[in-house]
Structure 1
Amino acid sequence: MTPGLDGRLALVTGAGRGIGAAVVTALVDEGVRVVATDLDRAGVETLAARHGELVTSRQLDVTDATAVETLVAETEDTLGPLDIAVNVAGILRDGPVADLSDDDWASHFAVNTTGVFHVSRAAARRMTGRGRGSIVTVASNAGGIPRAGLAAYAASKAAAVMFTKCLGLEVARQGVRCNTVSPGSTMTGMQRALWTSGEEEASARRVVEGDLVSYRTGIPLGRIADPSDIADAVVFLASDRARHITMHDLYVDGGATLRA
Structure 2
Amino acid sequence: MAQPPAPGTRPVALVAGASRGLGLLIATDLAGRGHDVAICSRDEQSLQQGRDQILRCVPEARVHTMACDVADEQQVRDLVDSTEQALGPVEVAIHVAGIIQVGPWQASHHDHFEQAIDIMLWGPINLALAVVPRMTERGHGRFGVVTSIGGKVSPPRLLPYSTAKFGAVGFVEGLSAELAGTGVTATTIVPGLMRTGSHVQAKFFGDAAKQYAWFAPAASLPLLSMDAHKAASKMVDGVLTGRPVALISPLSHIGTRVHGLAPNLTAHAMGLASRLLPKGSSSEVVDGRTARERLSSPLVDRLTTLGDRATRRHNE
Question: For the superposition of Structure 1 and Structure 2, which TM-score range results when normalised by the shorter chain?
Answer: 0.7 to 0.9
Post-superposition offset of 1:228: 1.2
**Contact 1:164–1:179 at 8 Å: present in 2 too?**
yes
Shift of 1:60: 0.9
Which one has the largest radius of gyration?
A: 2
Which residue in 1 is equivalent to 2:290?
A: none
Instruction: Name the amino acid aligned to 2:186.
Output: C
The equivalent residue for 1:22 is 25
How far apart are residue 251 of structure 1 and its match? 3.6
- Answering whether residue 143 of structure 2 is matched by residue 140 of structure 1, we say no
Instruction: Find 1:153's aligned residue among 142, 161, 168.
Output: 161
| CA deviation string 1:154-212 (max 9, x = no partner) | 11111101101111111222111101212211123433547986998986665689xxx
Cα separation, 1, equivalents of 2:89 and 2:203: 39
Equivalence map 1:81-92=2 (5 Å): 81-92=89-100
Q: Secondary structure at the match of 2:189?
A: strand
Which of 169, 174, 193 matches 1:166?
A: 174
- Distance of aligned partners of 1:190 and 1:65 in 2 relative to their CA distance in 1, 3 Å threshold: same
How far apart are the structure 2 equivalents of 1:115 and 1:200?
A: 26
The amino acid of 1:24's aligned partner reads A
Structure 1 SS opposite 2:190: strand
Q: Which amino acid aligns with 2:133?
A: R
Q: Percent identity?
A: 28
Secondary structure in 1 aligned to 2:116? helix
Aligned position for 2:302: none
How far the C-alpha of 1:71 sits from its partner, in A, is 1.4
Q: For the residues of structure 2 that align with 1:147 and 1:233, how far apart are their CA atoms?
A: 24
Listed as ranges, the gaps of 5+ residues in structure 1 are: 1-5, 210-220
Of 127, 134, 142, 2:135 maps to: 127
* TM-score, scaled to structure 2: 0.69
Query: Deviations along 1:205-242, whole A, 9 cap, x unmatched?
Result: 65689xxxxxxxxxxx8252122122112210232xx2
Gaps spanning 5+ residues in structure 2: where?
1-8, 259-316
Which letter does structure 2 place at the counterpart of 1:87? H
Count of matched residue positions in the alignment of Structure 1 and Structure 2: 240
Please say which of residues 227-236 and 49-58 is displaced more in the overlay.
Answer: 49-58
Q: 1:152 to 1:80 in 2, by over 3 A?
A: same
Q: In the alignment, which residue of structure 2 is the partner of 1:236? A: 237
> Aligned Cα RMSD in Å?
2.6
Contact 2:64-2:83 within 8 A present in 1 as well: no
The aligned counterpart of 1:11 is 14
Q: Partner letter of residue 234 of structure 2?
A: A
The Cα of 1:123 is off from its aligned counterpart by 1.1
Tell me the distance in 2 between the aligned counterparts of 1:162 and 1:201.
32
SS of the residue aligned with 2:179?
helix
The offset of 1:91, in angstroms, is 0.7
Q: TM-score, normalised by structure 1?
A: 0.83
Q: CA shift at 1:20, angstroms?
A: 0.5
User: What SS is found at the alignment partner of 2:145?
Assistant: strand
Counterpart Cα distance in 2 of 1:227 and 1:78: 29
Equivalent residue number for residue 68 of structure 2:
60
